[in-house]
Amino acid sequence: MTPTTRQDTVASLRARLAATERQAASRQRQLERYAADLREVFKQERVRAQELRRSYMSTVRALSNAVEARDAYTGKHAERVAAYGLELARATGLDVAASPQIEFGFLLHDVGKVGVPDAILFKTSALTQEEYALVTKHPVIGSEILRDVDFLGDGKLVVRHHHERWDGAGYPDGLSGEAIPLAARVFAVADALDALTTDRPYRPARPFPAARDEIRRHRGTQFDPAVIDAYETVGDETFVRLRDGVR
């Protein structure tokens, strides 16, 4: 190869190298633009998802308040029980952040009581067999009302199964043990805790430690032992703080 030919080859190689470098730099700039666009889309999606969740939550609260408005006596029961339920769910190891529908279910658990007449719901004397049968229909009525509300997801299982018992003696389906959805097993304890620590027409509220003793007695019969064990890891002061936060 003559010196001139060699120089030509080197010049041509340099030119190709420079062209390749320009192409690579342009591709990198393009990729950086894509990445920036993608980041922006993700940010907007996150904001939209938060807005959507907020509007779901306000809809659920509106519905829950409409149910509670009937019953001046238990006032804010749904909000308290939802707060206790979330605390117990976390202690039990349920990933509440991953399934926000659980909280919706806690808030709406008694929505089916709209189908129970006031005269029965607020009766202070003992219920007749027929009246009791009607009251026990509220989980089914509730899950029917919410059947087509897709965003409630597994929250609907809490509505249907919040009166099942670990030993299978509950209603409406007589499920037992782990056949009962975990969120409903957790909720059952929260519901009992609020019922016991709230004044009722036929008895005064019990302090949280006395309510704990009572609930403990039903470990393995009414309540899932694992949920009770989780409950034992949460101090009464936490529940008092949650109750006072709802007032």
Of 20-28, 61-69, 105-113, 151-159, the segment contacting Fe ion by CB under 5 A is 105-113
Of 33-41, 52-60, 104-112, 196-204, the segment contacting Fe ion by CB under 5 A is 104-112
Closest separation in Å from C-beta 244 to Fe ion: 24
Report which of 144, 192, 145 is spatially closest to residue 170, judged by C-alpha positions: 192
The smaller minimum CB distance to Fe ion, of residues 117 and 235, is found at 117
Is 224 a binding residue for Fe ion by CB under 5 A? The answer is no
Are residues 139 and 172 in contact, defined by beta-carbon separation less than 8 angstroms? Answer: yes
Closest separation in Å from C-beta 139 to Fe ion: 6
Closest separation in Å from C-beta 136 to Fe ion: 9
The smaller minimum CB distance to Fe ion, of residues 29 and 86, is found at 86
Residue 156 annotated to the active site: no
Cα(175)–Cα(161) distance, rounded to whole angstroms?
8
Phi-psi label, residue 181: left if phi above 0, alpha if psi -120 to 50, beta otherwise = beta
The smaller minimum CB distance to Fe ion, of residues 103 and 110, is found at 110
Is 110 a binding residue for Fe ion by CB under 5 A? The answer is yes
Report which of 133, 139, 158, 24 is spatially closest to residue 81, judged by C-alpha positions: 158
For the purposes of burial, counting CB atoms within 10 Å of the CB of 247, is it exposed (0-12), middle (13-18) or buried (19 or more)?
Answer: exposed
Report which of 212, 241, 243, 242 is spatially closest to residue 229, judged by C-alpha positions: 212
Residues within window 6-35 making contact with Fe ion, judged by CB under 5 A: none
Is 87 a binding residue for Fe ion by CB under 5 A? The answer is no
Nearest residue (beta carbon) to Fe ion: 110
Number of residues that bind Fe ion (CB under 5 A): 1
For residue 166, which phi and psi values (nearest 5 degrees)?
-55, -35
Closest separation in Å from C-beta 159 to Fe ion: 9
Cα(110)–Cα(169) distance, rounded to whole angstroms?
19
Of 73-81, 106-114, 173-181, 224-232, the segment contacting Fe ion by CB under 5 A is 106-114
Closest separation in Å from C-beta 163 to Fe ion: 6
Among the options 43, 76, 113, 123, which is catalytic?
Answer: 113
Residue 36's beta-bridge partner residues? none
Residue 87 DSSP one-character state: H
Catalytic residue set = 113
**Contact residues: Fe ion, CB under 5 A:** 110
